[in-house]
């Protein structure tokens, strides 16, 4: 249609916004959105309240001081010292981080600073898909492949359930998380900072390791804390491959029990509800929750404290 010469405006009747029921529609949508937001918040709060309620009930029977300080965990004989379980969890987590931090960080540096653009485009999503492998598969892998491999080649006295294979595999499991999140942080360091380093005669390696990585430190720390959180909360791998024997002070080659694995053991067993043993899973669950909460808070604080304003 030809444009009518000289017309600067549309005709009077061209603008007819339908405002019938507008007020009502706005209200409905706002209500729905608010409801969804609060639903998730209240569900979380509800879970935490139940957890703490049961925990308090447990501590009416069992001394909280004993729970936190005793190094003997034998629920059937009434020994509720949580430290052996914490020890198992931390041992596996420590091994996992020892694997995931260097490999994840180096992967991130490679992807961000060295990989050709195209390769990065494919590798980054591939890495994120890897993070979706079901953990039960990792668990089997640790039990049926890593442990025999270590036993045949390195440590002949390794237990068939042990902390080291569970930890190693858990490390592999969290590499994608550590690598992907720290890569985001490293990639976000502005080009101008890299150029500033180059302009002083810095090599690519010096620029990447001494300028870019420190500038991305808060993001990298967040990535590592996220990885630790996942390792602490991880259940399947430690249940399948690390064993069900509370063991305080054991070597990585020995069988030990993680906090999560204990909870699985009790829930899946014949323990009567209402007994002290059943109540103990809530206490252990609370301890686990507080550990991850503390980590998340630390991460939050660290990121805010050290976030770089480029």
Binding site for another protein (CB under 8 A): 117, 190, 192-203, 206, 210-211, 214-215, 217, 308-310
Cα–Cα distance list, 196 to 49, 193, 200, 210 (Å): 52, 5, 7, 12
Q: How far apart are CB 11 and another protein at their closest, in Å? A: 39
CA distance 38 to 58: 30
Question: Six-digit token pair at 43?
Answer: 């569900």
Helix (H, G, I), strand (E, B) or coil at 18: coil
Please identify, using beta-carbon distances, which residue of 17 and 305 lies nearer to another protein.
Answer: 305
Going by the DSSP 8-state scheme, the letter that residue 13 receives in this structure is G
Structure tokens belonging to residue 165: 């294979």
In the complex, what is the shortest distance from the CB of residue 211 to another protein, in angstroms, rounded to a whole number?
Answer: 5
How far apart (Å, rounded) are the C-alpha atoms in residues 252 and 112? 34
Closest separation in Å from C-beta 215 to another protein = 4
Helices (H) then strands (E): counts for the chain: 14, 2
CB of 187 to another protein, least distance (A): 14
Shortest Å distance, C-beta 197 to another protein: 7
* Distance from C-alpha of 256 to C-alpha of 260, rounded to nearest angstrom: 12
Percentage helix, strand, coil, to 5, in the chain? Answer: 75, 0, 25
Cα separation, 98 vs 95, in Å, equals 5
> Which CB sits closer to another protein, 79 or 308?
308
Quickly count: other Cβ atoms within 10 Å of residue 276's Cβ: 16
Q: Whose Cβ is closer to another protein: residue 143's or residue 185's?
A: 185
Residue 99 or residue 213: which is nearer to another protein going by CB? 213
Closest approach of Cβ 217 to another protein, in Å?
7
Pick 216 or 242: Cβ nearer another protein: 216
| Residue among 217 and 221 whose Cβ is closer to another protein | 217
Burial of 37 (0-12, 13-18, 19+ CB in 10 A): exposed
> Closer CB to another protein, residue 200 or residue 297?
200
Nearest distance from residue 115's CB to another protein, in Å? 12
């Amino acid at each position: 249609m030809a444009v009518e010469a000289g017309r600067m405006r549309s005709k009077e009747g061209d603008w007819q916004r339908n405002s019938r029921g507008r007020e009502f529609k706005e209200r409905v949508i706002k209500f729905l959105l608010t409801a969804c937001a609060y639903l998730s918040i209240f569900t979380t709060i509800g879970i935490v309240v139940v957890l703490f309620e049961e925990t308090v009930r447990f501590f009416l029977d069992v001394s909280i001081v004993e729970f936190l300080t005793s190094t003997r965990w034998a629920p059937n004989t009434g020994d509720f010292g949580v430290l052996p379980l914490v020890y198992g969890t931390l041992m596996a987590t420590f091994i996992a981080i020892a694997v995931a931090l260097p490999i994840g960080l180096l992967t991130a540096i490679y992807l961000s600073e060295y990989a050709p653009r195209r390769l990065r485009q494919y590798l980054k999503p591939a890495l994120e898909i890897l993070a979706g492998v079901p953990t039960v598969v990792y668990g089997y892998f640790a039990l049926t492949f890593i442990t025999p491999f270590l036993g045949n080649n390195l440590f002949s006295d390794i237990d068939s359930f042990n902390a080291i294979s569970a930890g190693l595999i858990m490390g592999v499991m969290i590499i994608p998380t550590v690598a992907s999140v720290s890569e985001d942080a490293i990639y976000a360091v502005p080009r101008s900072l890299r150029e500033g380093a180059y302009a002083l005669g810095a090599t690519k390696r010096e620029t990447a390791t001494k300028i870019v990585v420190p500038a991305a430190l808060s993001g990298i720390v967040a990535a590592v804390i996220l990885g630790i959180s996942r390792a602490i909360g991880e259940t399947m791998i430690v249940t399948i491959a690390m064993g069900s024997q509370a063991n305080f002070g054991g070597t990585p080659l020995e069988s030990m029990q993680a906090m999560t694995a204990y909870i699985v053991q009790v829930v899946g067993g014949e323990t009567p509800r209402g007994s002290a043993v059943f109540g103990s899973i809530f206490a252990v669950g609370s301890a686990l929750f507080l550990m991850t909460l503390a980590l998340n808070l630390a991460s939050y604080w660290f990121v805010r404290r050290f976030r770089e304003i480029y």
